[in-house]
């Protein structure tokens, strides 16, 4: 008789906590979650290439074989890392309008790639969209779109569009826009090589300086990444608004009645979100208090300096 779990990839079963725990080895110290966290910390500090099974095992002072009892391959570990790093946003997206909600959602995805740029080096697998972290991402996106007058299949298409845009934009930021200042020699080469005869349309942008990020006044834009992102997001949102203009959202199907266990699970999820919002608020308050204290110190120093200067002027007079 065939076990139905045989039709489920091991990585997917492991991500959902359905893979059988090893019968031997350091059960208490090692878990797939702790292994993924350790691997992510290494990747954040040194890049994805530094993440090896041996290196992660050394973090826990265990043998590499002990790690293999929990995670079968480095590729499997990479997929688990990708699922975890893009689903770390907490707190509900409660924007009243879908434009605001989707902008927040897209910013979250892009921030995830910015915090963990190594995620761009992990290929997308066929089952990535079914992993728990990505399900959380999808849930947040659909919540952000709850006022968008579109059917559910269209909302899933919007989710795929925004996910693809975030990954592509993050790659451009990392590999192109963050490449540093263009040297005068490189600019001169391009200006000479890109002639109107060979590149009739782009040559106009090269001649004007716009292709290099110059403003109309000839000055270099200091942070064109933010400008490009804002422009692109505006285009995406305007396009969606035009596409669904005048459309009426289909009547939502009545929510299924929750079992007591499901109601408890939802309550726990909402409680965790509320706790995270409180923690974020406390962090913002602490940051504001530290900033205020520093401003007070600067003010006090300035006050003492002003008093000393006034005293010197009186003495000199």
Domain assignment of residue 206, yes or no = no
What's the CA gap between 146 and 142, in Å, rounded? 6
Domain finish residue from 27, 50, 85: 85
Domain assignment of residue 209, yes or no = no
- Range 41-56 average pLDDT: 96
Dig out the tokens for 56 from the structure.
Answer: 């992660």
Based on the fold, state whether residues 124 and 230 are members of the same structural domain. yes
Based on the fold, state whether residues 127 and 239 are members of the same structural domain. yes
Query: What is the average pLDDT score of the chain?
Result: 84
What's the CA gap between 130 and 178, in Å, rounded? 32
Q: Is the pLDDT of residue 89 over 90?
A: no
Contact criterion met (CB below 8 Å) for 238 and 55: no
The residue segments making up the domain with residue 35 are 4-85
Per-residue confidence at 234, pLDDT binned at 50, 70, 90? Answer: very high
Q: Is the pLDDT of residue 6 over 70?
A: no
Based on the fold, state whether residues 51 and 146 are members of the same structural domain. no
Q: Is the pLDDT of residue 188 over 80?
A: yes
What's the CA gap between 63 and 57, in Å, rounded? 6
Q: Is the pLDDT of residue 211 over 70?
A: yes
Q: Is the pLDDT of residue 240 over 60?
A: yes
Based on the fold, state whether residues 131 and 235 are members of the same structural domain. yes
Burial level of 292, CB count in 10 A (0-12/13-18/19+)? exposed
> How does pLDDT run across 103-115, given as a tens digit for each residue?
999 999 999 999 9
Closest CA to 225 of 182, 177, 181, 179: 177
> How does pLDDT run across 132-148, given as a tens digit for each residue?
999 999 999 999 999 99
Based on the fold, state whether residues 238 and 290 are members of the same structural domain. no
- Res 1: pLDDT: 35
What's the CA gap between 28 and 31, in Å, rounded? 8
What's the CA gap between 244 and 293, in Å, rounded? 49
Domain assignment of residue 80, yes or no = yes
Dig out the tokens for 314 from the structure.
Answer: 């009186």
Sequence-ordered alpha helix ranges (H) in 60-151: 64-68, 74-85, 98-115, 132-144
Contact criterion met (CB below 8 Å) for 119 and 85: yes
Q: Is 246 left (phi over 0), alpha (psi -120 to 50) or beta?
A: left
Based on the fold, state whether residues 267 and 140 are members of the same structural domain. no
Based on the fold, state whether residues 232 and 274 are members of the same structural domain. no
Name the one residue in this structure whose structure tokens are 């990479």: 78
Per-residue confidence at 221, pLDDT binned at 50, 70, 90? Answer: very low
Contact criterion met (CB below 8 Å) for 56 and 39: yes
- Res 218: pLDDT: 46
- Res 222: pLDDT: 47
Q: Is the pLDDT of residue 295 over 50?
A: yes
Closest CA to 309 of 227, 317, 83, 265: 317
Domain assignment of residue 291, yes or no = yes
Domain finish residue from 61, 85, 109: 85
Based on the fold, state whether residues 28 and 117 are members of the same structural domain. no
Domain assignment of residue 237, yes or no = yes
- Res 278: pLDDT: 73
Based on the fold, state whether residues 69 and 130 are members of the same structural domain. no
Based on the fold, state whether residues 232 and 177 are members of the same structural domain. yes
Per-residue confidence at 95, pLDDT binned at 50, 70, 90? Answer: confident
Q: Lowest mean pLDDT: which of 12-26, 54-68, 102-116, 255-269?
A: 12-26
- Range 40-50 average pLDDT: 96
- Res 220: pLDDT: 43
Count of Cβ atoms closer than 10 Å to residue 317 Cβ: 5
- Range 35-46 average pLDDT: 96
Domain assignment of residue 203, yes or no = no
Domain assignment of residue 104, yes or no = yes
- Res 249: pLDDT: 60
Based on the fold, state whether residues 227 and 168 are members of the same structural domain. yes
- Res 290: pLDDT: 87
CA distances to 220, 225, 231, 235 from 215, rounded to whole Å, are 6, 14, 15, 21
Based on the fold, state whether residues 174 and 66 are members of the same structural domain. no
Q: Is the dihedral of CA 50, 56, 58, 64 positive or negative?
A: negative
- Res 253: pLDDT: 63
- Res 91: pLDDT: 65
What's the CA gap between 133 and 156, in Å, rounded? 16
- Res 251: pLDDT: 60
Report the number of distinct structural domains present in the chain: 3
Dig out the tokens for 21 from the structure.
Answer: 């725990």
Domain assignment of residue 252, yes or no = no
- Res 280: pLDDT: 66
What's the CA gap between 196 and 200, in Å, rounded? 4
The residues, ordered by sequence, that sit 6+ positions from 31 with a Cβ below 8 Å of its Cβ are 70
- Give CA 275 to chain center in angstroms: 21
Closest CA to 125 of 74, 76, 73: 76
- Range 254-271 average pLDDT: 81
CATH number of the domain bearing residue 79: 1.10.10.60
Domain finish residue from 57, 85, 113: 85
């Amino acid at each position: 008789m065939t076990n139905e779990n045989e039709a489920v990839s091991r990585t997917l079963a492991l991500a959902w906590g359905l893979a059988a725990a090893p019968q031997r080895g350091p059960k208490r110290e090692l878990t797939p979650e702790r292994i993924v966290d350790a691997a992510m910390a290494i990747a954040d500090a040194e890049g994805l290439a530094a993440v090896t099974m041996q290196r992660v095992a050394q973090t826990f002072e265990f043998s590499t074989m002990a790690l293999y009892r929990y995670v079968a391959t480095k590729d499997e570990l990479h997929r688990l890392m990708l699922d975890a790093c893009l689903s770390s946003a907490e707190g509900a997206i409660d924007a009243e309008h879908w434009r605001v909600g989707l902008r927040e959602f897209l910013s979250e995805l892009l921030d995830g790639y910015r915090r963990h740029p190594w995620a761009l080096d992990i290929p997308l697998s066929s089952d990535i969209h079914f992993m728990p972290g990505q399900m959380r991402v999808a849930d947040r996106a659909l919540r952000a779109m709850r006022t968008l007058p579109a059917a559910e299949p269209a909302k899933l298409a919007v989710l795929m569009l925004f996910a693809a845009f975030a990954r592509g934009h993050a790659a451009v930021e990392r590999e192109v826009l963050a490449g540093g200042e263009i040297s005068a020699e490189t600019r001169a080469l391009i200006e000479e090589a890109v002639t109107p005869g060979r590149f009739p349309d782009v040559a106009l942008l090269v001649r004007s300086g716009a292709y290099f990020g110059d403003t109309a006044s000839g000055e270099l834009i200091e942070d064109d990444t933010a400008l490009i992102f804002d422009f692109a997001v505006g285009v995406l949102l305007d396009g969606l608004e035009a596409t669904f203009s005048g459309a009426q959202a289909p009547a939502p199907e009545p929510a299924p009645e929750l079992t007591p266990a499901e109601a408890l699970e939802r309550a726990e999820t909402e409680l965790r979100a509320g706790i995270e919002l409180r923690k974020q608020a406390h962090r913002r308050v602490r940051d504001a208090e530290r900033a205020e204290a520093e401003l007070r110190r600067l003010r006090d120093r300035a006050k003492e300096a002003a008093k000393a200067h006034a005293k010197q002027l009186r003495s000199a007079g």
